[in-house]
Chain A
Amino acid sequence: MKAVGEKRTPLTRRTLIGMGAAALASTALGLPRPERRLLQMNAYAPDAETPLDLLTTYITPNDLFFVRHHWNATAPDPRTWKLTVDGEVALPLELSLADLKRFPRTTVTCVLQCAGNGRSLYTPPVPGIQWRYGAVGNARWTGARVRDLLAKAGVKGTAKHLHTAGTDDPPSKTPPFHRSLEIEKALEDGIVAWEMNGEPLPPLHGAPARLVVPGWAGDHWMKWLAKLSPRPDPEKGFYMDVGYRYPAKPGEPGVTFKPEEMRPVTELFVKSSITDAPARARVGSPATIRGVAFSGAPDIAKVELTDDDGKNWKTADLGREHDPYAWRLWSLSWTPKSPGKVRVAARATDSRGSVQPREAVWNQSGYLWNGWHSVEIEVRA
């Protein structure tokens, strides 16, 4: 399938570097390319996305889960790590990992997607890591509910925003990644997670504990979590007032929005990606097309595919596995009607009725891309 990032290109020093020596060598010899892999978007700080053809399972394995850092971070020592709960509380807390694990244990299965996933697909281009489709995964997160922690600390009614901070100190004069989110969302769905898919949370994913905010973009999921502070007002600073903001209403592509014309990125947008489709098919012979769909709404209502640029749509079968804010696997048995190069596109509709648009709303930071995803299939008579 052609939509996945690694196109075949002539053998030059530049492409050798670009594609990875091993992958190119296997291509040159006509051997199958390695299956299990990540795509390095930044050698340091570590950023890597999952190739779409590996996002075909309900649970994304930890070793294939996308990785995103703002800068080189040092994971805290779990033996000495503490989580501070302070701010608008009656009783500030200092919790060790053992203390945290004494709270009622809860597990949620949900999607984690980088706010910038799909940034490279915006036209005109915008700065930042040029993620394509794979800065997303679906995992089982186990930990303590934020509401249990805040109840223990005696959170006050004056608290409207939950300020969060991790231990990843930025280099030089780079502003710290300090954030806040509405306290209602944190109390309703937030988890301080120390396990990912049944394993201790890996350091690159925020060990010993990170925030999990089901249905909301990854910028809220603070890694190497060190502090939870309920406060009356939102956090200030670059990563609240300039970064991670999305236009309140659409504008002209390429025309920069002012900060006051934007709101913080919160819920994910409804989105479907095709993860498996044949490169070739025959007229009259059914071919299976598969993918994933998810949203900031708790569930997906339907996924449809078109092979005539949106004039007609066929409804895909949704996988049986689902949890609130998790993704749905889907598949469609598609029978090509005529020969030629056929573009097949998918769109999802969520449980609140939001429909994936043909084009995403351009914004200068390239957040929340959710345009139709398509693949080209060569159909022979």
Chain B
Amino acid sequence: MTEKAPLAVVAALAISLAALGGPGKPKPPADLPQLGTLIAPLPEGPAKDVADRACLNCHSGDVLRQQRLTEKQWTANVTKMIGWGAEVPEDRREELVRYLAKNFGPGNVAFRPVAVRPIRPNR
């Protein structure tokens, strides 16, 4: 699974650090996660296993979670990604498209990017 940072732990740590900082004092960026360490899982659903395998080899679920695409657009994108090497069993392709269109359709306005700390110059 792709969720590398246990969210409850991160939240608890952030709250304790924030409390130490006190009100009115800017929080140091060390309180924030690094880019790439906080990765939300894909929503549950019948084709989640296919999406996990096919999509998350090359990019995080963030890319899916921020889309607002019609079923037609998802069909085109799934076709494109299969052409680029995404492994989708032929008999589960339509199920995957339905899963993506249901969760990340035009009404999907829930995505908010995670705030991460600045990137050190030579990371």
Residues of A within 8 A of B (CB): 5-7, 9, 13-26, 28-49, 51, 61-65, 67, 71-72, 120, 124-127, 129-130, 171-175, 199-200, 202-204, 207
Contact = CB atoms under 8 A, between A and B. Distances in A.
B115 A39 contact: yes
Contacts of A43: 2, 35-39, 60-62, 114
Given A22-B31, A34-B29, A49-B113, A17 B40 contact: yes
A125 B115 contact: no
Interface in B78-122: 83-86, 106, 110-122
Given A16-B7, A19-B114, A71-B58, A202 B123 contact: yes
Nearest to B24: A32
Interface of B: 2, 7, 10-11, 14-15, 17-19, 21, 23-29, 31-33, 35-40, 57-63, 65-70, 73, 77, 83-86, 106, 110-123
Given A29-B15, A32-B24, A38-B116, A21 B57 contact: no
Contacts of B35: 38, 40, 43, 46, 48, 67
29 contacts: A5-B112, A14-B110, A15-B110, A16-B11, A17-B114, A18-B40, A20-B32, A20-B115, A21-B10, A22-B32, A28-B15, A29-B15, A29-B19, A31-B21, A34-B28, A37-B115, A39-B113, A39-B116, A63-B120, A64-B118, A124-B70, A126-B73, A171-B57, A172-B85, A173-B84, A174-B58, A174-B84, A174-B85, A175-B84
Contacts, number: 209
A25 B115 contact: no
A199 B113 contact: no
B36 A44 contact: yes
A284 to B, nearest CB: 29
Contacts of A6: 112-113, 115
B42 to A, nearest CB: 11
Given A14-B110, A42-B63, A48 B116 contact: yes
Nearest to A124: B106
Contacts of B38: 17, 20-21, 40, 43
Contact of B73 (A44, A127, A129): A127
Contact of B115 (A34, A42, A65, A126): A34
Given A39-B114, A49-B113, A174-B84, A21 B119 contact: no
B112 A9 contact: yes
Contacts of A31: 18, 21, 23-25, 27
Nearest to B26: A35
B122 to A, nearest CB: 6
- Give the interface centre of B25, B63, B73, B106 by most chain A CB atoms within 10 Å: B63
A124 to B, nearest CB: 7
A36 B25 CA distance: 13
Contacts of A9: 112
B29 to A, nearest CB: 5
Contacts of A23: 32, 114-115
A20 B117 CA distance: 11
A32 B111 contact: no
A13 B86 CA distance: 29
B116 A63 contact: no
Given A125-B106, A129-B63, A173-B83, A22 B115 contact: yes
B11 A24 contact: yes
Contact of A199 (B17, B63, B121): B121
Nearest to A26: B18
Contacts of A40: 35-36, 38, 62, 113-116
Contacts of B62: 40-43, 47
Contact of A36 (B17, B19, B112, B118): B118
B116 A21 contact: no
B4 to A, nearest CB: 8
B97 to A, nearest CB: 13
